[in-house]
A and B are shown apart, each in its own frame.
Chain A
């Protein structure tokens, strides 16, 4: 996994994120003045836009968009910014998966890059959201951070996103599973993903530390 915050000049926070062959840029601007129709009287309004690497956004991107929104909303301190707007734009540079069948890798890349960009922008957060992809192969093996090939050969695919507070995964924000699996598999996936999330959190803290030391 590779991250670089502060990549863009004109927005308040940004992050260039890549994992295996998936590559995305997240840009965050806010809090800014919303348009009249976006304004919420007591809290921060959120505008999320995802643009695919090729072609125009379709229902597929809207689907990812809605999931990212569901995951990011609980992490923001919304009531700190009444009648304000936070604009999040995600530009995929490389999907890293067969776009007509999968969206798992892109979804995770979008969530993680947005978290980094939000922290970079300095907008108030109650916690951070980090996620990972896990597939279960035909042979009942679990693979974290799969490749496109792994996805194609998987029995089931799972996206798990946790909210991290005080360095511990506290809330399960999203579990998005497709394919053939049972209750046991779900528990196994949750257990495995928690280990991975802890690792991602460690990386995140390490990244922030080096960033601050360089100032």
Chain B
């Protein structure tokens, strides 16, 4: 980051004092995840996620290329997360070496790519010769905290929404059918990981050991920008609807005990379930709108009518 937003002592003192008295500036409870707004663009795999004032856009693109030599049966999948001054002047252009930027892209990478959310074997066309390369382009538009959570939702919603052109293979020759000619095929999504970020505050400013008596630490979910600037510890857990913990990331900050971690995971699961359902529902609604005619033609529809 180039420069930081200047925050006065009065402001930080007040925000902490308010947290102590159970208030958050934006009128949420500590365990409340911001409402997620999902909007699909004109093209397939084009999603805009809004969480409060945070806005993240994700667009999927695909191309046919050669697979890696040591992985002939797998396709390629990239996630590009680069921040620009658009999200706020604190981000520098073309310089994503700041601690926060690196952490954001690492967490998303681990949550989505390395957890195998996308079936990359399904992207193979001719083993060792040709495969699909899928690229998720994440654009950070407006930053009010929670970039990790929002971009994870954006990437997953975009992947679920995207359909790649259908292909036919004739020996060495591959024919790519334009979308007007043949119905495009959706990607193989194996599970939907959702990231939930917890922020920790220690308003008493006393170092507490694991079995500390008067534990006054405060845990909040989905911090906004001001809260993110003041927090003393952060934990991101990634879960899916199958109650699997995909990732736990805690890079330094306040120490926490195992019970708190368990508690956080439980809280995160409820949100994960809600958000996953919301994404799937939004995809369903959007597909229906796009497929007005195919619904008319399908036999399933006819049975329903009778």
Contacts and interface: CB of A to CB of B under 8 A. Distances in A.
B41 interface: yes
B3 to A, nearest CB: 8
B88 A10 contact: yes
A9 to B, nearest CB: 5
A87 interface: yes
Given A91-B139, A91-B141, A94-B43, A54 B59 contact: yes
Interface stretch (B79-87, B167-175, B238-246): B79-87
Interface string A152-164: 0000000000000
A36 interface: no
Interface in B1-18: 2-3
Nearest to A49: B93
Nearest to A96: B42
Contacts of A91: 57, 84, 86, 139, 141
A10 B224 CA distance: 13
Interface in A40-72: 47, 49, 51, 53-56
Contacts of A9: 53, 142, 144
B278 interface: no
A11 B42 contact: no
Interface stretch (A24-32, A125-133, A175-183): A24-32
Given A9-B53, A10-B142, A21 B42 contact: yes
Interface in A1-20: 8-11, 14
B143 A51 contact: no
B173 to A, nearest CB: 22
B89 A87 contact: yes
B135 interface: yes
B90 to A, nearest CB: 8
A109 to B, nearest CB: 14
Contacts of A35: 2
B227 interface: no
A174 interface: no
Given A49-B93, A54-B61, A11 B88 contact: yes
Interface in B221-280: none
Interface string B197-212: 0000000000000000
Contacts of A33: 3
Nearest to A30: B89
Given A10-B143, A54-B61, A49 B53 contact: no
A112 B38 CA distance: 27
A152 to B, nearest CB: 14
A11 B141 CA distance: 10
Contacts of A53: 59, 61, 137
B141 A25 contact: yes
Contacts of B46: 93-94
B263 to A, nearest CB: 32
A89 interface: yes
Nearest to A53: B59
A23 interface: yes
B109 to A, nearest CB: 16
Given A8-B141, A8-B142, A56 B80 contact: yes
Nearest to B57: A93
A27 B85 contact: yes
B161 interface: no
B55 interface: yes
Interface in B30-81: 41-43, 46, 53, 55, 57, 59, 61, 80
Given A23-B41, A94-B46, A29 B53 contact: no
Interface centre among B57, B85, B143, B144 (most CB of A within 10 A): B85
Nearest to A57: B94
B89 A10 contact: yes
Contacts of B88: 10-11
Contacts of B89: 10-11, 29, 32, 87
Given A87-B85, A89-B85, A93-B59, 4 more contacts: A11-B88, A23-B42, A54-B61, A94-B43
23 contacts: A8-B55, A8-B141, A10-B88, A10-B89, A10-B143, A14-B86, A29-B89, A32-B89, A35-B2, A47-B93, A49-B94, A51-B82, A53-B59, A54-B59, A54-B61, A54-B135, A54-B137, A55-B61, A55-B135, A55-B137, A89-B86, A89-B93, A94-B41
Interface of A: 8-11, 14, 21, 23, 25, 27, 29, 32-33, 35, 47, 49, 51, 53-56, 87, 89, 91, 93-94
